[in-house]
Each structure stands twice: as C-alpha cells, then as structure tokens.
A = this chain, B = another copy of it.
C-alpha cells in the first residue's frame, strides 16, 4: 500500500467509511432501508414482501428506496431463517463429457432460472461413489431446493428416495416405476423407430444400433423402437455387442471396424450419439465403404456439428437446451407448491 493510499485513508469521511470495505459501496441491508425511510426493519421486510397490512404508500416508498440503493436480500440470512436455499442443484456425472451434452442443458437451465432468485449449483457425482450419494447429501443437508439429474434408470434409486421424501426434483429420462414422477424425456422410442424406417426406406437390409448402457431406461426405449421397426419390416438386425454409447470412441470404432470386415455385416446403423456416428463413418472410411451405398447411417444430432459433416448424414434432432429449459421451468413450478405430477412431465417429440 502506497503513501497516497494511506493519505487517502486518513481523509475518509463518514459516508465513505461504510463503503471502504467493498470498494463499491457497502452492501445495503434492511437496516439501511429502515434508516433511510425512518421505518422499522420489520416493516421494511414486510413492505418488500408486499404484505397487505402495510400501507400501499409505504410499500411503494420502501420499494423505491430499495431499488435506488440497489438492495438485494442477503441469501445467507434468508436461507438461514427460512430454510429455503434458492439453489437448484444439477447433479452431473463428469463422465458425460459427451460433446456438450451438459453445456446445452446448463444453458437451458440458466435460461429458465433467469430473473428468479435461484442459482444453479453444479454437484459432481464422482464415479467412485454410489450414484445416490450426492442426492442423499443434498437432501439431508438441505443444499438445494430442487435437484436435477440425468441418465435415469428403470428402478432409479434417486427417484425413489426423492419421491419418498417428497423432495422437488426433475430428471432427464423416465423410470419404469409404478409411481409417476416428474421428468423431461426425449422420445427415444420414436427416434429409433423412425431412424430404422428411414434406413430401410433408403435400402438398408440389415440394421445395427449402438445402444447406451443397459442400465439406463432410454436404452430400453431405443431398443424397443428399433425392434418394433425391424419386426414390422421383417428385416435383419443386431445390436452392437461389447460397446455402448459410453464407450471410448476409439473402442466403438474398433468394434465397428472389425464388424464391418466380417460377413453378414449390417449396412444400416443407428447412432444415439454424435461421436458414435462419427465412429461409424470412420470405420466405413477405413474400409473404403461408401456411405449411402455400402453403409447407411442415421444419427441423433444434439449440436450443430453434423451440419458440417461430409458426406451429409441423415440426422434426427434432440434439443437438449430445450430439455434443460423445461426441466428448469417444471422444477420451479414444483418448488412453488404442490402440482399434479402429470403437469411435471414432458416428452420431447421427435
């Protein structure tokens, strides 16, 4: 600190003293407003809450002062007193590095939370602990008013736990539990069904689908849609063995490359993710198989990526940003008060 700073410090007057700490102006509290208006702290609090027993004129005056000095309630104090955290927790598996899957959802979520008092906290779920741990932790320690998570399983423990405790949440994907629960999901059944139909229409004779790990519900949906289509058409099919959408992309490609070198190889692929679709293309390329003639492909598109992929690939779009936005909106609705569960369910159509 220089001499000038010290000199300046000495010269500081009353008004500046309070401002010294933050350098931007001391943080105003209810007390500040109370002093400015000559009212009691309690009155100010009520006025800002728009309580009807406070005179309208007073409410307006308080609101004006609050706005003028840029008052913002202290989250910690509010949280301590009321128990509400004003936090939404997104439980993220760092594994989901899959090309901006999380980013899109986060963008949608922040957009939904925009203008509200809610903050988005990222709670990682590290793979060396059980999946339910972060959820239990958030609930037990009241770390958030609502939870968002993804990759739902048919008998998802998290869903059970949260439902049992009536804790607000929404998940991406459905369970197969008897009890209805809030969710946002993409119609993966239709995706797979339509993808298969497209491939068949384009001349494919034997289809293959690369599925997510079996433990996820949407793997079943994809399989079901796929199977329905191939059975309707009475056409050959298989599912990729030994690799899933979560496998390392090199492993997926190695599997595909190998499979494409065997007899009875599939000539139509359905890919539930962009990376696996690229792996199909890479394998075909490495075998000098021509896309659209030797090998056909329908991919799920979740980013602008495939607009630049050549040769052009048929894709079906899933809007993850919208999914995030929906999850945010529905969760807020649920937090605001009890809502019939069916109003907290959204299925994004293909």
Contact = CB atoms under 8 A, between A and B. Distances in A.
A308 B279 contact: yes
A303 interface: yes
Given A94-B107, A107-B94, A142-B27, A305 B72 contact: no
A17 to B, nearest CB: 16
A318 interface: no
A248 to B, nearest CB: 7
Interface string A119-131: 1111110100000
Interface in A190-216: none
A139 B21 CA distance: 11
Given A27-B140, A100-B103, A103-B97, A286 B310 contact: yes
Contact of A80 (B74, B104, B249): B74
Nearest to A122: B120
Contacts of A53: none
A143 interface: yes
Interface string A71-86: 0101111011000010
- Report, as a range, how many residues of chain A touch the other chain: 35 or more
A99 interface: yes
A275 interface: yes
A79 B87 CA distance: 15
Nearest to A93: B107
A111 B94 contact: yes
A80 B143 CA distance: 15
A97 B99 contact: no
Contacts of A261: none
A10 interface: no
A102 interface: yes
Most buried by B among A102, A103, A275: A103
Contacts of A94: 107, 110-111
Contact of A282 (B120, B166, B286, B309): B309
A165 B110 contact: no
A111 B309 CA distance: 33
Nearest to A22: B140
Contact of A97 (B140, B141, B303): B303
Contacts of A22: 139-140, 142, 165
Given A76-B79, A248-B304, 5 more contacts: A97-B303, A98-B100, A99-B305, A121-B122, A253-B308
